[in-house]
Amino acid sequence: MKDDNIMKNEKLKYLKLLARQYPDINTACTEIINLKAILNLPKGTEHFLSDIHGEYEAFNHVLRNASGVIRNHIEEIFGSTLMESDKRNLATLIYYPELRLEVVKRKENNMNDWYKINLFRLIQICKRVAYKYTRSKVRKAMPENLTYIIEELIHEDSARLHKHEYYNEIINTIIRLNMADKFIIAISNVIHRLAIDHLHVIGDIYDRGEAAEKIMDVLMDYHSLDVQWGNHDISWMGASSGSIACICNVIRISCRYCNLNTIEESYGINLIPLATFAMEVYKDDDCERFVSSGGEDENGLISKMHKAITVIQFKIEAQTILRNPEFEMGHRILLDKIDFEKGTVIADGREFKLIDTNFPTIDPKNPFELSEQETELIEKIQQSFINSEKLHQHVRFLFNKGSMYKVYNSNLLLHGCVPLNSDGSFRTIKISGVEYGGKALFDKLEEIARSGFYAKCGTPERIKGQDYMWYLWCGACSPLYGKDKMTTFERYFIDDKSLYHERKDCYYKLTNNEDICLKILGEFGLSGENSHIINGHVPVKVVKGESPIKANGKLFIIDGGFAKAYQSVTGIAGYTLIYNSKGLVLASHEPFSSTIEAVEQEKDIVSNTRFLELNGGITMVDSTDDGKEIKSRINDLEDLVEAYNSGLIKEFAK
């Protein structure tokens, strides 16, 4: 009885808070009607992207063309009534309205006619993408100053009696008042906004490409999204928190791909101390094994910086492994296996000749100890990372909108893998004396990673969290990495490719089996024929006949090669998955040239789409996760109405 009273009191408190938003019966009932109507609309379109790796222009274009969805709308609406060139022109105008208008104005002689034709076409496209949403939601996608005009045009039928002249006059007035450009830009942005209702980014926004920070800026302003962390993301997240191991790794990869602008210019992190140190310590070293894979390297400076930070990274990683024996990564400590006199190293139980034997900062007696100069250097760089306001904003956003995994509309979204043993059982690791595997492992690792960023500086919780963020980057049982080891040292210093092999987790083989996928889905609370696993991380080698579809359609791997570094391996330039009210659609994309070519020459990304699974009808909001939340909201509002009617809560409206 006491518990029942407590529950009733808590419910009453909640209803009183809800009453502040809905102060009388009328407002509460109106919202109930609105929400029940929403339940009977088609579900919004979800887009899934993975492994963007800093390729801003390709990413931006895929968002703007909605993986070919907008072009499909143009085909459906205009079909054979428009020439192919007109369809390309209209598509490009929608994708890049500001830039395309500049091109048109240089070439077009009669802008008024051009405006009138294209405004009518844009309105038709906007009507098509808006049909599955409430007027309220469509209104929220519009700029405030043009809301009334856009609403009049997309919700009115110009064919209705006496409406044709009204409709035309609005268009003519827009042109006459020199508002056409603003209107075209606004309605194009509304189309972008409504074409993708919710975006899923399944990891690896950072590294390799040159503009990860621009991608993050776009995501921070995006209307609705979630992020599943990738191992490259977690490395940057650890770096922002102050993890020296992650900081070294972030700088090393940036040097490797000759992409220091993101660190220095975009995030304002000062690498001059590293450059000065590297030029002094490695002045007589050509650092041949550390030449960047792209870009210019004046005087070999980046190569020297690359080697300097790599050596420091190996020292810091050894220290991290030694203070965390539960990582079980002792076999990855190799600096103490070097025979500096012979120029050899013991790796994988065998002795190998080192390609590079110049280690001026390593003390053979204390190989993991930073030199005095290295200590001073790394402290300066660490402070730069911690104090980078923009990086901190981006990382905080990743923590707020991101997670190790996401269960959404019957799909399990994760970046890498669910670690498995060879018999299909969940692989476990011991954390603070407790074994974790399956969903519990994901939850525990996320909890620890968050403490690495949010716990008080200098506390054991924060230090442990930072160490685990590094483990998530490269650990053998990391769901974000999914391989037995990261052979970074071997690739730099040993000329034997047999040592470069990184064995994948059993997950990648076993998930060809539908029963294993069903077991994993069940572990995360999912069942039924419409449940799927969606992940990235491992590029699908299309050129070798690999398919992104596994286990009879229960698993989709959508890393198809957004990163240019992978496109020669995959043969394409990325996958996106589209989940609309009709079913699941897989889009594979050809390489993107550039925004300039897209605008000037109307070059779109060539996207090939195919239905993977039809719903057998139109899926309504009622059967989605959003629908569950809406139903819960309706129940609360109905309780509020009952409380008003019974006099338990007073109406506040005058």
Task: State the pLDDT confidence band at 149, using cuts at 50, 70 and 90.
Answer: confident
User: How much is the pTM?
Assistant: 0.92
Q: Using CA atoms, how far apart are residues 319 and 313, in angstroms rounded to an integer?
A: 10
Q: Which residue has the higher pLDDT, 432 or 163?
A: 432
Instruction: For residue range 67-103, list pLDDT tens digits in order.
Output: 888 888 889 998 889 898 889 899 999 999 999 999 9
Number of C-beta neighbours around residue 529 at 10 A: 9
Q: Compute the distance between CA of residue 325 and CA of residue 502 in angstroms, rounded to an integer.
A: 21
3-state secondary structure of 557: strand
Residues 6 or more apart whose Cβ sits within 8 Å of residue 419: 426, 427, 437, 441, 477, 478, 479, 482, 505, 506, 507
What is the rounded distance in angstroms from the CA atom of residue 114 to the CA atom of residue 97? 14
pLDDT of residue 4: 66
pLDDT at 161 over 60: no
Spatial distance between the Cα atoms of 250 and 240, rounded to a whole number of angstroms: 10
- H helices of 359-403, in order, are 372-386, 389-401
User: Is the predicted pLDDT of residue 163 greater than 70, yes or no?
Assistant: no
Look at residues 410, 480, 479, 403 and name the one whose alpha carbon lies nearest to residue 226. Answer: 403
* DSSP summary character for residue 460: H
User: Among 337, 367, 333, 362, which residue's Cα sits nearest to residue 350?
Assistant: 337
pLDDT at 423: 96
What are the φ and ψ backbone dihedral angles of 140, each rounded to 5 degrees? -65, -20
Q: Which helix (H) or strand (E) holds 107?
A: helix 97-107
Task: Give dist(CA 533, CA 520) in Å, integer.
Answer: 8
b/e 92-115 (16+ beta carbons within 10 angstroms → b): bbbbbbebbbebbeeeeeeeeebb
Element (H, E) at 518: helix 514-523
Q: What is the CA radius of gyration of the chain?
A: 28
- Domain ranges in the chain are 2-40+623-646, 66-195, 231-391+450-493
User: In this predicted structure, which of 234-248, 374-388, 415-429, 533-547 has the lowest mean pLDDT?
Assistant: 533-547
User: By mean pLDDT, which of 19-23, 459-463, 526-530 is the weakest?
Assistant: 526-530
Whether the CB-CB separation of 305 and 293 falls below 8 Å is answered with no
CB 242 within 8 A of CB 466: yes
CA 427 to chain centre: 26
Cα distance between residue 572 and residue 635, in whole Å: 48
Q: Could you give the C-alpha distances from 341 to 338, 345, 354, 356, 361, in angstroms and in order? A: 9, 11, 11, 13, 15
Q: Rounded to whole angstroms, how far apart are CA atoms 188 and 599?
A: 15
Beta carbons within 10 angstroms of residue 527's beta carbon = 10
Q: Would you put residue 349 in left (φ > 0), alpha (ψ -120 to 50) or beta?
A: left
Across 135-151, average pLDDT: 81
Q: Which amino acid is at 581?
A: S
Helix (H) or strand (E) holding 226: strand 225-228
Residue 256 burial (CB count, 10 A): 20
Judged by average pLDDT, the poorest of 309-313, 392-396, 421-425, 497-501 is 497-501
**Cβ pair 201, 226 in contact under 8 A:** yes
How many angstroms separate the CA atoms of 492 and 426, rounded?
33
- The mean pLDDT value for 411-421 works out to 96
Q: Strands of 287-440 (E only): list them.
A: 338-339, 344-347, 350-353, 402-403, 405-408, 411-414, 428-431, 434-437
Q: Are 94 and 68 in contact (CB under 8 A)?
A: no
pLDDT tens profile 359-408: 999 999 999 999 999 999 999 999 999 999 999 999 999 999 999 999 99
CA distance 410 to 623: 10
CA distance 196 to 191: 9
Is the model's pLDDT at 572 over the cut of 90? no
Nearest-10 Cα torsion for 480, 485, 491, 494: 170
